[in-house]
Each structure stands twice: as C-alpha cells, then as structure tokens.
Structure 1
Amino acid sequence: MMVQLLYFAWVREMVGTDSETITLPADITTVAALLDWLAARSPGHAAALADRSRIRIAVDQGFATSATPLNNPREIAIFPPVTGG
C-alpha cells in the first residue's frame, strides 16, 4: 500500500525530511509494526523513533495508538506531543 508519511518538529529534523511517499510491505498492519519498520530504515529514523513515548501518530488525521490497524491509510503523521500555552 502506498502512503504519505509526514514528519513534524524535531522528528522532521532527525529524519531529514518533512515527508515521503512510500509503499508499505504487506506485513505492516499496525502503527507499531510501521514504527519498527521505519526505525530500521535509517539512523535518523531510528533516533527519532527510539523513545516511542515522545512521539504521537495520526492516521488519516485521527490520533492513533501503537495498536491502531493500518487499513489502507492515505496519510500518516509522526510528531512530538503538542503543548499549549
């Protein structure tokens, strides 16, 4: 499945890009599996995803957990927790 990945804030800086379009392997069926797969792609991905408690995920603009299934998503965003002030 083809998906647009969006990276924000320090995640973007560590990965080295703000977005990429990738084809996910068929065995990537949950957010957790996606994050594991991405972490193995490059040192920047590994560093950005090393502490999963420091990132948030949105699948097709809805917040997701590590157990969220990937049912042919069009867009997945990875970003740090947002705080207001």
Structure 2
Amino acid sequence: MSVTILYFAWLRERIGLPRETVETGAATVAELVEELRGREERYALAFADLKAVRVALDQELSDFDAPLTGVREIAFFPPMTGG
C-alpha cells in the first residue's frame, strides 16, 4: 500500500523531509514506525521516543496501534501545547 507521510516540527528537522510517499506492508502505525526506524539512522533518531510523538491518520488524531487499512495520509508531530 502507498501512503503519504507528513513530518512536522523537530521530526521534520531530524528526518530532513516535510513529506514523502512510501510503500508499506505495515498493518498498524507501530509497524510502519518500525519499518521507518529500520531505513536509516535519521528515522531511528526521530522515532526514538514515541512518548514525544503524536500521529494523525487522514487528519484524525489516532494511536500507534491503529490499523492502516484505507489510510492515505499519516502525520507525525510533537504533542500540542495550549496557549
């Protein structure tokens, strides 16, 4: 399956890309993150502490155990803060 991944804030800085399209066989967000971690060190560094990362699937906040079936866009970003 092909998905578009968006990276925001320090995740974008560590990975060096604002977005990319990847082919994945991952069934869940967690499996996709493991695939990404295995690609290059920059991904491993970006996803080293998942407590500091949030995810949205097709612009809806989600969890790392969420299934990717039918998902077209995945966004990774740091926790939001109020103000």
Superposed pair shares fold, TM > 0.5: yes
Query: Offset at 1:84?
Result: 1.9
In percent, how many aligned pairs have the same letter? 46
RMSD of Structure 2 on Structure 1 (CA): 0.8
1:15 equivalent to 2:15? Answer yes
- TM-score relative to the length of structure 1: 0.93
Which structure 1 residue ranges, 5 or more long, are not aligned? none
After superposition, give the CA deviation of every residue in 1:10-62 in whole Å (9 maximum; x if it has no partner).
0000001000011112xx10111011111111111100100000000001111
Query: What secondary structure sits across from 1:37 in the alignment?
Result: helix
Query: Where does residue 38 of structure 2 map in the other structure?
Result: 40
Moved over 3 A (4+): none
- TM-score relative to the length of structure 2: 0.95
Query: Where does residue 48 of structure 2 map in the other structure?
Result: 50
For 1:46 and 1:67, the matched residues in 2 are separated by 19
For 1:23 and 1:72, the matched residues in 2 are separated by 13
For 1:22 and 1:4, the matched residues in 2 are separated by 6
